[in-house]
Structure 1
Amino acid sequence: MKKVNLLEDPVKKLFAGYLLPSISATMVTSIYILADTLMIGRGVGAIGIAALNILLPLFSLFFATGMLFGAGGGILLSVCKGKKDGLAANQYYTAAFIMAAGMSVTYTVFGHAFFLPITAFLGRNGNMTPYVEEYGRILISGAPAFLFASFYQVFVRNDKAPRLAMTAVVSGGVLNIILDYILMFPMQMGMKGAAAATVIGSFVTLFILLTHLVSKENTLRFVTGIRLKQAADVVKNGFSSFLLDMCNGIVTFLFNRQILSIAGELGVVVYGIISNSAYIASSVNNGISQAVQPILATNYGAGKKERLKEVRHLAEGTACLSGVLFAGMGLLFPALVTEAFVRPDKEILTMAVPAVRIYFLSFAAMGLNVLYTTWFQSVMEPANALRICLLRGIVLNSLLVFVLPLFMGVTGIWTVMPVTEVLTLAVCRIMLKKQSICRR
């Protein structure tokens, strides 16, 4: 099998080779959540979806932390390889692994110790409590698997094994779906069954990823001589990826609190349907950007500016196509999207149809915003990447989710994301025009 050369192989060939595996790998979050939502909607009902939606920020936190250290270390690893500095590349890998291990233990211990106050803060109410506790306790126990599945899919991809990352995620996802059905229906385990299926699937994904470490192609090594500055560089460069993945969790948390006060549990059910759809779109967009990340970072390290521009243009076209498809699906088939998750009554459909149509418009711009975050990371401008993530993930959402409902009621909540993504895209284009790296 011919070895991949990120510095010399045709850009279109490299992009095509990384695209499907990368999208499959980043689907890890949405596959697990989507499967659980579909099964819970059919097996437990709308209250189960509302309870799961309350816990989604924890999913985001675990996977985002894996991306914090995975993308932060993986990008630096690729840049060092582009500079032919193998020792520094593995020092970044080792530093990232140590920090990831520490956080996985922290999340598990503190998550169980403070479970009730944490879930109350996330929006749990009395009706949801038994469902939240059944699912959430098992979810927190699986934090190390979620975190390291996210962590290693980045490093394995950066170590030129994107197909293994795809295999790992697809295998874990398929097993999750099978176990969801078995544990929830024949075995009647309800929310506990859905959570157990998710954790087991994630452990399988992680196990398959770890097989790369004993393969002949593996170049990842634990080394000594790590400096504190290298650990800080990993965090600094990966923080925008952390925020990128946390955007969904932050948005879900803010929306849940507002929707509960405006539309009650019915609104949370509708938003649960929308947010799960958003996870799928976000995963595809993350996959597009992660497909180009190793190519960008390695060529940046080697100073090949023309290849950088070519890669970015390919990814921009793909992100635009993805955005149009997702937005069109919401506009044309809002009832079908709703019916995929629950057996909706008239009340749910009345709220869900316009909500899906409005919210899905945000997907048209989302892919480009995600791509530009990865672009700035890969060319070692983490400050700009961080600005994009803060703008779309915290600043605009936090402001608009409270302002727009004052004028538009519950419709204002569904309008927040389209407005946020369009404003962020405008800022991204301004930042790109000011950038000098790809000018002749």
Structure 2
Amino acid sequence: MEKTRGARELELAPVGRLLWKFSLPAIAGMLVNALYNVVDRIFVGRGVGPLAIAATTVAFPLMMVLMALTMLVGMGATALISIRLGERKKEEAEVVAGNALTLLVLVALSASAVGLAFLRPLLSSFGALENVLPYALEYTRIILLGNVLMSVGFGLSSMIRGEGQPFLAMVINIVGALSNIILDYVTVFSLGMGIKGAALATVVSQGISAAWAMYYYVSGRSVVRLSVRNLVLRRSACLKIFSVGFPHLALQLVHSLQQVIFNRGLSHYGGDLAIAAVGVVFSLGTFMFMPVMGISQAAQPIIGFNYGARRMDRVKEALKLASFWATVIIGVGYTVTRIWPEELVALFGRQDPQLISLAVEAMRILFFVLPLIGFQIVGSGYFQATGKPLQGTLLTLSRQVLLLIPLLLVLPRFWGLHGVWWSLPVSDLGSTLLTAAFLYYDFRSEAANSRNIPALSKEGS
């Protein structure tokens, strides 16, 4: 059987060219998703102050939960749509799409209702102290009211990628992010709406993305059509969507728990200003991590295909190149944070010297081993690409959960706020060493298996 053009390319094209071909759209998509929260923090920091930054930081775990529920449906449906189209079962793909749209709306409305009913105790448990709580309530209430727009926009964009239109999905997300920047300026500064304006800008911009994605489906241009009859939920379709999307839900929920523990440690040992400072640092870190995540995701189909074809030379080359470029990108970002730390922090609050001083101190500790993280992220992605989900999940969770949460519970008891900060680089170092050990053992096992295959074949003949 003649191989498809895509398969031939994965097997024969230069690995470096393949990596960048796959990486650029993935990096763009990752950066766009990062823009929403980062832009909000910049505008509220400059327009309102550090308490508003702390409010968005405290609200972030709740937003991660909302995103987790959206990913449960959106990512599950996306994978199923791709599989059904590959099997030439278009009608089944359309059933999945219709059921997914209904689920996106129902899950988002349910989550918003629960969030609004228990908003004050939730934010307090996330680390919101007395001064921050009013800002957090204003910001999060609007986010929850507009949650259905975020859910539909993200879910439909993912489904557009699933039917083979990654560029269109990327454009839809970029338009939403650019709209957020413009609307943030208008609502926060021109209209003087403060943190409410930032939340409203986020909701409206997500509504723009949702409207465009919906138009794509109702205009008749999509491969998978949405019909009224497929909006009626079917038990089998819902269960399949939930089962495929569950790993994304679990990972996001665990990350949300980690962020809650981190925020509570900050509020206990450092107060509102510490939460705001770390919110600034994490926002800056997002722009370094997202391109690395894009490279890791882009490398996975290259590694997976050639691993299946037993082309271990190309597997190793893809892993080395992805690790190299991930390290270069994050290394450049690390260098910038070392040379111009005050200037970077000042983007979020030029008039607050206390915030700048504390955020710079936090950044020097939190980013202490940052150049190692590119290798860790790509290395954990290797195991997912080669069909070893247990190792991949363990390594993915090791950095932000399995090592970090125990450290967050122990180190601050001895070193206070600095113990909270040092928990992250110690976790980063441990997870990097663990990834290196896993890779070393895996490549030794693969080499041993490849030596045994000819011998076994000979005996069988």
Same fold (TM over 0.5): yes
Q: Could you tell me how far 1:71 is from its partner in structure 2? A: 4.1
Per mean C-alpha deviation after superposition, the further-off stretch among 34-43 and 388-397 is: 388-397
CA 1:29/1:7 → structure 2, altered by over 3 Å: closer, same or farther?
Answer: same
Q: Could you tell me how far 1:231 is from its partner in structure 2? A: 3.8
CA 1:124/1:134 → structure 2, altered by over 3 Å: closer, same or farther?
Answer: same
8 Å CA contact 1:237–1:377 kept in 2: the answer is no
Question: Is the aligned partner of 1:414 residue 2:416?
Answer: no
Aligned counterpart, 1:128: 132
Q: Which of 1 and 2 has greater Rg?
A: 2
> 1:84-95 counterparts in 2 under 5 A?
84-87=86-89, 90=93, 94=97
Per mean C-alpha deviation after superposition, the further-off stretch among 312-321 and 204-213 is: 204-213
Q: Could you tell me how far 1:332 is from its partner in structure 2? A: 2.3
Code of the residue aligned with 1:133 in structure 2: it is L
8 Å CA contact 1:305–1:438 kept in 2: the answer is no
Question: Is the aligned partner of 1:64 residue 2:68?
Answer: yes
Per mean C-alpha deviation after superposition, the further-off stretch among 386-395 and 190-199 is: 386-395
Question: Is the aligned partner of 1:263 residue 2:267?
Answer: no
Q: Could you tell me how far 1:308 is from its partner in structure 2? A: 5.0
8 Å CA contact 2:68–2:248 kept in 1: the answer is no
Aligned counterpart, 1:6: 6
Please give the alpha-carbon distance, in whole angstroms, between the structure 1 residues aligned to 2:215 and 2:23.
22
Q: Could you tell me how far 1:87 is from its partner in structure 2? A: 3.0
> 1:368-383 counterparts in 2 under 5 A?
368-383=375-390
Q: Could you tell me how far 1:294 is from its partner in structure 2? A: 5.3
Equivalent residue for 1:405, pick from 412, 430, 437: 412
SS at match of 2:129: coil
Question: Is the aligned partner of 1:193 residue 2:200?
Answer: no
8 Å CA contact 2:129–2:272 kept in 1: the answer is no
Please give the alpha-carbon distance, in whole angstroms, between the structure 1 residues aligned to 2:115 and 2:244.
25
Code of the residue aligned with 1:136 in structure 2: it is T
Code of the residue aligned with 2:6 in structure 1: it is L
Equivalent residue for 1:303, pick from 305, 308, 325: 308
Per mean C-alpha deviation after superposition, the further-off stretch among 25-34 and 376-385 is: 376-385
Aligned counterpart, 2:458: none
8 Å CA contact 1:60–1:246 kept in 2: the answer is yes
Please give the alpha-carbon distance, in whole angstroms, between the structure 1 residues aligned to 2:36 and 2:157.
15
CA 1:389/1:404 → structure 2, altered by over 3 Å: closer, same or farther?
Answer: same
Please give the alpha-carbon distance, in whole angstroms, between the structure 1 residues aligned to 2:106 and 2:322.
34
SS at match of 2:8: coil
8 Å CA contact 2:365–2:425 kept in 1: the answer is yes
CA 1:393/1:401 → structure 2, altered by over 3 Å: closer, same or farther?
Answer: same
8 Å CA contact 2:71–2:245 kept in 1: the answer is no
8 Å CA contact 2:77–2:100 kept in 1: the answer is yes
Aligned counterpart, 1:113: 117
Aligned counterpart, 1:46: 50
Aligned counterpart, 1:314: 321
Question: Is the aligned partner of 1:203 residue 2:207?
Answer: yes
Per mean C-alpha deviation after superposition, the further-off stretch among 111-120 and 187-196 is: 111-120
Per mean C-alpha deviation after superposition, the further-off stretch among 250-259 and 372-381 is: 372-381
Q: How much identity, in percent, do the aligned residues show? A: 27
Code of the residue aligned with 2:332 in structure 1: it is L
Q: Deviations over 1:180-227 (max 9, x none)?
A: 111112211111111010111112223334455468885446788946
Code of the residue aligned with 2:337 in structure 1: it is G
Please give the alpha-carbon distance, in whole angstroms, between the structure 2 residues aligned to 1:165 and 1:362.
34
Please give the alpha-carbon distance, in whole angstroms, between the structure 2 residues aligned to 1:261 and 1:409.
9
8 Å CA contact 2:54–2:132 kept in 1: the answer is yes
CA 1:156/1:199 → structure 2, altered by over 3 Å: closer, same or farther?
Answer: same
Please give the alpha-carbon distance, in whole angstroms, between the structure 2 residues aligned to 1:309 and 1:266.
45
What is the number of equivalent residue pairs in this alignment?
430
Q: Deviations over 1:151-203 (max 9, x none)?
A: 34444334332222221222111111111111112211111111010111112
> 1:328-339 counterparts in 2 under 5 A?
328-339=335-346
CA 1:162/1:210 → structure 2, altered by over 3 Å: closer, same or farther?
Answer: same
Question: Is the aligned partner of 1:234 residue 2:234?
Answer: no
8 Å CA contact 1:396–1:420 kept in 2: the answer is yes
CA 1:150/1:14 → structure 2, altered by over 3 Å: closer, same or farther?
Answer: farther
Equivalent residue for 2:34, pick from 30, 36, 42: 30
Please give the alpha-carbon distance, in whole angstroms, between the structure 2 residues aligned to 1:424 and 1:103.
34
The TM-score, its normalising length taken from structure 2, stands at: 0.81
Please give the alpha-carbon distance, in whole angstroms, between the structure 2 residues aligned to 1:391 and 1:92.
37
Per mean C-alpha deviation after superposition, the further-off stretch among 327-336 and 147-156 is: 147-156
Q: Could you tell me how far 1:248 is from its partner in structure 2? A: 5.4
Aligned counterpart, 1:352: 359
Per mean C-alpha deviation after superposition, the further-off stretch among 222-231 and 418-427 is: 222-231
Q: What root-mean-square deviation, in Å, do the aligned CA atoms of Structure 1 and Structure 2 show?
A: 3.3
8 Å CA contact 1:75–1:294 kept in 2: the answer is no
Please give the alpha-carbon distance, in whole angstroms, between the structure 1 residues aligned to 2:349 and 2:301.
39
Per mean C-alpha deviation after superposition, the further-off stretch among 430-439 and 374-383 is: 430-439
Equivalent residue for 1:291, pick from 298, 302, 308: 298
Aligned counterpart, 2:176: 172
SS at match of 2:395: helix
SS at match of 2:190: coil
Q: Could you tell me how far 1:44 is from its partner in structure 2? A: 0.8
Please give the alpha-carbon distance, in whole angstroms, between the structure 2 residues aligned to 1:104 and 1:397.
30
Please give the alpha-carbon distance, in whole angstroms, between the structure 2 residues aligned to 1:177 and 1:397.
33
CA 1:420/1:104 → structure 2, altered by over 3 Å: closer, same or farther?
Answer: same
Q: Deviations over 1:118-161 (max 9, x none)?
A: 11211222222321121111111222333344434444334332
